[in-house]
Structure 1
Amino acid sequence: MAARVAELRVVRGWSLDDLAGHTGVSRSTLSRLERAEISPTASLLGKLCTAYGWTMSRLLAEVETEPPAVVRVADQQIWRDEASGFTRRSVSPPHPGLRAELIEGELAPGADITYERPPVTGMEQHVWVLGGRLEFTDNGTVHVLETGDCLRFRLWGGTRLRNPGDEPARYAIVVVLP
């Protein structure tokens, strides 16, 4: 429960002071809750659920559900953006009880994708090129990656993925929440 409550706050980009303002619960109580030093009361859970726009049953279900040990290829979701030439497979999808996920990406030759800012500031990523060539720009720094190369970093700013080659660029990304 403590880890999930902390994760919900971080995903929204809220500080403990922000959450205290949304819930009317003291910063110190919220801090103790996130460190698992106290157990939440029903009233405290109700205030948290209101702040996040969640039902209590949803929060409790996410905390109690164990992630599957095996994610079968048939269950891995694939998303394609035909216009940009980008394919994304969620190999090991996010789960409330876990902090990391594994994604496989493929960029068609000439494909170019820009993200203006990270979904979660400070999120750790590892980009491993499985085939082809990938130009990865992280917060203004350009990295040219060849097959087998791995780039690891924390996301603080915008990113760009570009395939400068004449064959598809395949890569894996490990995403780790802070």
Structure 2
Amino acid sequence: MQKTIPGLAVRTSVKERRVARGWGQEELAAKAGMSTTTIHNLEAEKNGFTDKSLSAIAEALGCTPAELLLPIDATPPHVIRGDAQILSMLARIEGLTSKDIDVAFGVIQLALAKRGG
């Protein structure tokens, strides 16, 4: 049985993040593996969020479920540790090609190596 997560800022956070990406409810629904009606009902607080739906929406929006509990401007910065997290962060930047990501990753690695030694 799944728990329903209280609304908190989830409704507005999801909508703000969706709109910031230029997505309609249809696109978010497709990326989260849900119906458009489900996304509409969630944003309109007609239905609650479950841990599963919150996780799917967060993954589609490129954030954590915890970040959806807060207003978009109140999201705390995250510490990024390790190459996998650096690459993941770079992959979330819209418009970067694979080559751009490789170049940026190389620059970051050099900066960290210089700073550490």
Note the C-alpha offset of 1:4.
1.3
Greater share of residues in strand: 1
Task: Tell me by how many angstroms 1:95 deviates.
Answer: 2.9
Alignment counterpart, residue 95 of structure 1, candidates 69, 73, 77: 73
Match of 1:2 in 2: 11
Higher-RCO chain (CA-CA 8 Å, sequence separation at least 6): 2
Please state if 1:34 is matched with 2:12: no
Q: Deviations over 1:107-142 (max 9, x none)?
A: xxxxxxxxxxxxxxxxxxxxxxxxxxxxxxxxxxxx
Bigger radius of gyration among the two: 1
Choose which of 7, 10, 26 in structure 2 pairs with 1:17: 26
Deviations along 1:73-123, one digit per CA (max 9) or x if unpaired, are: xxxxxxxxxxxxxxxxxxxxx835xxxxxxxxxxxxxxxxxxxxxxxxxxx
**Whole-angstrom CA distance in 2 between matches of 1:95 and 1:8:** 10
Q: TM-score, normalised by structure 1?
A: 0.34
Deviation at 1:39, TM superposition (A): 0.8
> Deviation at 1:9?
0.7
Calculate the aligned-residue CA RMSD, in Å: 2.0
Indicate the percent of aligned positions where both proteins have the same amino acid.
Answer: 32
Deviation of 1:3 (Å): 1.4
Unpaired runs of at least 5, structure 2: 1-9, 75-117
Q: Tell me if 1:46 matches 2:24.
A: no
Name the count of aligned residue pairs: 66
Partner SS state of residue 38, structure 1: coil
Deviant stretches of 4+, over 6 Å: none
Amino acid at match of 2:73: H
**Per-residue deviation at 1:38?**
1.0
